Amino acid sequence: MRDLARIHSLDALPRLLTLTASHTAQLLNVSDLAAPFQMTRQTIHDYVTVLERIFLVDRLPPWHRNRLSRLVKTAKLHIGDTGLACALLGIDTVALHRDRGRLGSLLETFVLQELRRQASWYPEPVDFFHYRDRDDFEVDIVLEHGSAAVAGVEVKAAATVTDADFRGLRKLRDAAGKQFAGGVVLYDGTAATRFGDDLFAVPMRNLWEVN
């Protein structure tokens, strides 16, 4: 309530939420979010924080082996609900099939939400991050179980997987060392396939279907 009381332009929040929906699964860039508004970057940053605290926006922090380095690297921004995002952006199923870039971003956000939901059933806490190194190798979602295990998940809105889709996961494996438990590329296919030690391509539907 204290955060909400500091908001002077309540009409800006719905517009900011719509803009956030269009930026889902991207690195948080406050300057880009502030550009359409006559507000300071700090004000927009505070508004994003409010949206995060009422669970409309999810800020995904960066993973780094050095925990102090996580504090200075850039988080990823995710809308809290992909159905809400599509409604705000006026996107239906036909539009998603036409715009593969938009589909990929929303699919990544959907997978993050589903993994968070399933992790909440786990008796031990699981923390969520994204990975990006200085050479721009990326992993969409990193799961960390304390200091014991690290796993990576890449999301691909396609029906095929190639060895190149595992480049970011291999970088994460090198960075995590003995902590690395496995890496998965979730894709829109039907077969689960091994791509080397601890790396797998897995149909996305396995997230919610029981085989």
pLDDT, one tens digit per residue, over 24-71 is 999 999 999 999 988 889 888 888 988 998 899 999 999 988 776 666
CA 22 to chain centre: 13
Using alpha carbons only, give the angle 81, 106, 93 rounded to the nearest 5 degrees: 95
Structure tokens at 195: 């791509």
CB 124 within 8 A of CB 146: yes
Q: Which residues sit opposite 130 in a β-bridge?
A: 62
CATH T-level assignment (fold) for domain 2-207: Arc Repressor Mutant, subunit A (1.10.10)
Report yes or no: 92 and 113 within 8 Å, Cβ to Cβ. no
Instruction: Please give the model's pTM, rounded to 2 decimal places.
Output: 0.91
| Parts of the chain with a pLDDT under 70 | 1-8, 68-72, 210-211
Dihedral sign from CA coordinates of 158, 83, 33, 109:
negative
Domain ranges for the chain: 2-207
Q: Which residues pair with 187 in a beta bridge?
A: 156, 203
